[in-house]
A and B are shown apart, each in its own frame.
Chain A
C-alpha cells in the first residue's frame, strides 16, 4: 500500500500513466553510501588498471562496483584518459588517493597489488601481461589474447608457470543465453554438429570519430606516443591512427576478425568442446582497402576444419553468414547472438539440461567470476589457454589470407605442417628496445 493511504492502483487512476513520471536517480552513488565498507580493507582485492581508451573504463567501473575490490591506481600513456580514470576512482571513494602512472613497470613495482586489468592495443598485450604475471599479479585481460600466435603460447606458459589467475574479456560466456546455447550443443540436442558458422562484423568502424584526421602532426602534449608505438614498427602520429581506431592497422590490431574471435568464435569452441584444441586446416580470403592508413581486411571469409572433420566458417561482410554463432547439426541448429537465441526445433531453447549431463561453468558476472577465482585460485570461465585457442583460429585465418594457401596446423604441438613460408608469420620482431619478457 502506498503511504498516502490509497493503493498504487487507485492512485494511478487519477493520473494518466504516461505522466506519472519516472524518478530521476543519481547516476553515481558513492561507494560509502552503499555500505561498501562491509569487506574489511585487509580482505579486499587490490587492483589497478592499464589502458583507458575504450574498454578500460567500463571494466574499471565494474570492478569499482564490487565491495571486495580496492582500486588504487591507473596507468595510461595519455594524460587525458589517465586523469579521467583517476577522477572516476576518486569520486567513487570520496578521496584523492588514486595513484597515476605512465610507466607500467613502476606500477608493478608498487608491491601492494593483487590484480590488474589490462585493456591496451593488441600489440602491447603480451609484453604487459607477461610482465604482470611475472610480478605476481592476476590479470583481467582483453581479447584477442595476443597479437601473434607465438606470443600467445609464451603468455599461456607464463600464466601457468607463475600460477596466476587469468580472465579474458570474453564476457559472452557469462551471459545466460550463450551458455545455454553451448550446453544444448554439447549435450547433443542437435545431434552431431555438421557445420559451424560464425558471423562477425566487417569494415572499419569509427569508434573514436577520428576517421579522416590523417594529417601527420606531433602527438598532443601529455601523450607518450613513442611508447605507445612500443614494439610495433614506427609510423608517425596522426589522430586517426591511435585511440580505439588503432585496431584497423595490422601492426597494432587485427581488424574485425581478431577483435571478434574472442567473442563468437570463443562461443563456437565452447559449444563444440574445443576449448583446448584448434583446427587442422585453415583457408581464407580477404578484401582490403586500396588507400588510406588502415590495412586490416574489410571483408573476410575463413574456413577452418577440425580434427574430427567439423567445418567452420568465420566471415565478416557476408550476409549469408548470420551474425553470431550457429551450430548446424544433423537434427537441427542453434543460433545465438547478443540479444538473440533461436533454434530448430524451436523448443530447444527451453530445453532442460538434465542433472547428469554436461554442465558448463556457470557465471552470471564476468568480473565477479574473476574475483572469485582470485580468491579460490580455480580457473576462470575464460582462462588463458582457452583465450589463446580462440585467438589462434583468428591468427591462422590471417595467415591463410596473407599467404593465399591452405594452412595445415597441428593443434597439439602448435606447429605448421610443411609450410616454412607461413612459419614466418607466426611471430614478429619487436622494435628496439622492446622485448617480450619470456
Chain B
C-alpha cells in the first residue's frame, strides 16, 4: 500500500478515535463532565416565546408547554407574574401569527392585570385579534378592563361590538347598563344588548328591558322578554314578588311572544302571585289551553300546601288525559289520605296513559289496601300498564303491605294473580314469606309452581333444595324441570363450602328409583360443579342403563372445571358412540383453554391430544381457536401443522398470525 495512503488511513483512524472519545465523554456520568456541561439551563421567557412565535396550530406544541410551565411556575409570585405579563404584552406587538398570539392571550386571561388592558383594548379594533383580546379581557377583573370594554362599545365594528356586549354581560357590569340601553334600539346589537342586560340584572336593567320590550322590533322584543324573565327571577329570589309580577304579567298575556316565553312567564306569574296563586292555577287547569295548563301544573307543588290539594284532585276527572297524567305525577307526593281516592278513580280510567300514571302514583299514595288492585292489574294487563303495576307492587312501603301480599296469596287467588304475588315476594325480598312460597311448590298449577321456583332463587335457602328436587323428579313438564334445575343450582350456590354443594343431589341420587330419576339428577350435577360429585358420575358410567350412561357422559362433557379433565380425556379416546366422542372432544378442547393462566406448554399438549382425536374440521377449528390463548412456540408449531389441510388453512393462518404477533411483542425489550 502506498505510504501516503497509509498516512491518510492513520489520520482518519486517529480522528475516528477522537470522535469516539468525545461521544463517550458526552454520554458519561457526572464524574466525567467537562467544565461546559453543567445542568441544562432553563430557557428564558424570550427564548420560549421565540419558539411559540412559529406555532401554527399543529402538532409542534412543545413551546406552548414550556410557556405554560414557565408562567405557572411564576404566576403566584408578584414579581415573576409582572415579568411574564410584560413579556407577553411585548410579544403581542410582534408580527407573530394569530395562533401564537392567542397562546399569549390564554395566559393573560390567567395573569393579566390593569397593565394588560391598553394592549388588549387596542386589539379589539382588529378583526384578526379581537377574539383573543376578548378571551383575555373578559376574565381580567377590575374597573380598568371594564372601562376598556365600555369604550369599545362605541369604537368596535358590529361583530366585535356584540362580543364586547356579551363580555360585559358575563362580567355583570352594572356600569354598562346605560350604554346597553342605548344599544337596545340598534337592530344589529339590540338582541345582544338585551341578553347582556338580563345577565346583569337589577332595577335599571329591568327598566331598560321593559321599555325596549314595549316598543322594539320582534327580534329585540323576544330577547328583551327573555331577559325580563331573568330579571324577574332575580327579584323573586330577593323576595320582591310584586316587582317580579310586574315583569311577568305583560309577558304571560302577550300572544305575539313565542309560546315558551309565555309559558315561562305564566309559571313566574303564578310563583309571584302570593295568595292569588291557587286561583290562577285552578283557573288555568280548568281552561282549554293545554300549554298554559302545563305551566300551571308545573307550579302546583309550590302553590298548594299539603293539606290544601283537594281542589286540584276534584278537577282531575275533568282534565284532558295528557293533563291528568301530569297532575297525577304531582299529587302523588301529597298526603295519601287526601289524594288516594282520586288516584284510585284514575286507575279505573278508560285512558291507558292515565291508568299507568295512576298506578305509578300509587307507589307513594297506596298502602296494603291497594295490593289486590295492583296484583290483578299486573296479572291481566300487558305492556307498560303491567310494568307499572308490578313496579308499584314491588315498591309499596310498609310491612303491612308485605302482610297483605302473603294474606292474599293464602286465599289462593286465580293462578295469574298468585304468580304476580309470588313474583312480588322476590322483588320485595320478602324472606319471611319463604314458607308461603315453598308451599306453592305443591300447587296444582304448573304456572304457580314455576313462579315459586323462580322466587325461591332469590329468597330461598339451601334447606329448600329437597322440595325443589321433589318437583324436579315429579314433574312431567320440561319447562318446569328446567326451572327446577336452575333453582336447585342457585340454592346450592348459597352453601358456603364448595365441596358440599352437591350433597343433597347425591343423597337423592342414591335413593333414585328409576333411570329417569337418575338422569334428571345427574343433569344437575355439572351445573353445580362440585367436584365431590365426580365419583358418582364415574359410577354411573359403569351401569347398564343407556340413558343413565348418556346422562353421565354429558355431565362430564359439561363439567365447568378442569377437575373432570381426565374423565373427559378417557371419553374422547375410548367412546365408541360417535356423539359421545364428539362431545368429549369438544369438552376436552374447552377445558384445555379454560384457565388463561395455565402453563402454556401443558395447555398446548392437551390441544395436541385433542387434535389427534379429531377427524372433522369443526373440532380442528376449535383447537386453533383455543391455541391463540397460549401464544408460545409449541402453539405455533401445532398451528402450522394445520396449514396443509385446506378446510382449516384459513383458521390456521389466523391463529399463526395472532400467535406471531404476541411472540414478537414479547421479544421487544421494554
Q: Which residues in A have some Cβ–Cβ distance to B below 8 Å?
A: 1, 7-9, 13-19, 38, 43, 133-136, 150, 157, 161-163, 214-216, 233-236, 238, 288-293, 295, 352, 355-356, 359, 362, 375-378, 402, 404-405, 420-421, 423-425, 427-433, 435-438
Contacts and interface: CB of A to CB of B under 8 A. Distances in A.
Interface in B201-243: 226, 229-230, 233
A410 to B, nearest CB: 16
Contacts of A359: 395, 397
B59 A355 contact: no
Interface stretch (B257-265, B499-507, B599-607, B631-639): B257-265
Contact of A290 (B62, B195, B261, B550): B62
Contacts of A233: 102, 106, 131-132, 135
Nearest to B66: A290
A17 B259 CA distance: 63
Given A14-B579, A356-B398, A236 B58 contact: yes
Given A352-B431, A362-B395, A376 B325 contact: yes
Nearest to A405: B76
A424 B402 contact: no
Contacts of A356: 397-399
A7 B519 CA distance: 15
Contact of A162 (B99, B106, B263, B329): B263
Contacts of B329: 376-378
Given A134-B226, A233-B102, A233-B135, A427 B170 contact: yes
B110 A161 contact: no
Given A292-B61, A435-B195, A429 B260 contact: no
Nearest to A135: B260
Nearest to A237: B57
A43 B132 CA distance: 49
Given A291-B65, A377-B329, A429-B134, A235 B357 contact: no
A8 B230 CA distance: 68
Contact of B353 (A15, A375, A424): A375
Contact of A9 (B267, B478, B583): B478
Given A8-B478, A16-B579, 9 more contacts: A16-B586, A17-B583, A150-B170, A359-B395, A376-B325, A423-B139, A428-B139, A429-B166, A431-B131
A250 to B, nearest CB: 10
Contacts of A134: 226, 258, 260-261
B569 interface: no
A431 B138 CA distance: 12
Contacts of A291: 59-62, 65
A163 B132 contact: no
Contacts of A288: 65, 68
A424 B113 CA distance: 12
A359 B102 CA distance: 51
B61 A293 contact: yes
Contacts of A216: 56-58
A438 B62 CA distance: 38
Contacts of A429: 131, 134-135, 137-139, 163, 166-167, 170
A288 B229 CA distance: 43
Given A17-B583, A433-B163, A293 B135 contact: no
B162 A432 contact: yes
A1 B479 CA distance: 9
22 contacts: A8-B478, A18-B586, A43-B353, A136-B260, A161-B268, A215-B58, A216-B57, A233-B135, A235-B99, A292-B59, A355-B399, A355-B401, A362-B395, A402-B110, A423-B139, A428-B139, A429-B170, A430-B163, A432-B131, A432-B162, A435-B162, A435-B192
Contact of A136 (B135, B226, B263, B383): B263
B478 A437 contact: no
Contacts, number: 182
Give me the 10 closest cross-chain CB pairs, A-B, nearest first: A376-B329, A136-B260, A352-B429, A424-B139, A429-B138, A214-B59, A236-B57, A378-B329, A235-B57, A355-B397
Contacts of B260: 133-136, 162
Contacts of B109: 424
Contact of B131 (A19, A234, A377): A234
A293 B59 contact: yes
B429 A238 contact: no
Interface stretch (B22-30, B294-302, B537-545, B650-658): B294-302
B396 interface: yes
B62 A15 contact: no
B130 interface: yes
B58 A435 contact: no
Given A136-B263, A162-B263, A289-B65, A432 B163 contact: yes
Contacts of A436: 166
Contacts of B170: 150, 427, 429
Contact of B357 (A8, A38, A376, A428): A376
B582 interface: yes
A170 B451 CA distance: 34
A355 B402 contact: yes
Interface in B162-218: 162-163, 166-167, 170, 192, 195, 198-199
A375 B139 CA distance: 42
A193 B114 CA distance: 47
A17 B553 CA distance: 13
B141 interface: yes
Contacts of B195: 435, 437-438
Contacts of B294: 163, 377
Contacts of B431: 352
Nearest to A9: B478
Contacts of A425: 110, 139
A20 B601 CA distance: 32
A234 B428 CA distance: 56
Contacts of A38: 383
A135 B260 CA distance: 6
A420 B59 CA distance: 33
Contacts of B58: 214-216, 236, 238, 293
B13 to A, nearest CB: 41
Given A214-B58, A355-B428, A432 B130 contact: yes
Nearest to A215: B58
B487 interface: no
Contacts of B132: 233
B297 A377 contact: yes
A233 B133 CA distance: 11
A17 B57 CA distance: 60
A285 to B, nearest CB: 12
A438 B198 contact: yes
Interface string B243-262: 00000000000000011110
Nearest to A426: B139
A17 B357 CA distance: 47
B566 interface: no
A295 B132 CA distance: 19
Contacts of B297: 377
Interface centre among B170, B198, B261 (most CB of A within 10 A): B170
A215 B59 CA distance: 8
Nearest to A427: B170
A355 B400 CA distance: 10
A292 B478 CA distance: 63
A134 B478 CA distance: 59
A38 B401 CA distance: 34
Contacts of B562: none
Contacts of A424: 109-110, 139-141
A438 B230 contact: yes
A436 B131 CA distance: 15
Given A9-B478, A134-B226, A291-B61, A163 B295 contact: yes
A404 B72 contact: yes
A421 B112 CA distance: 10
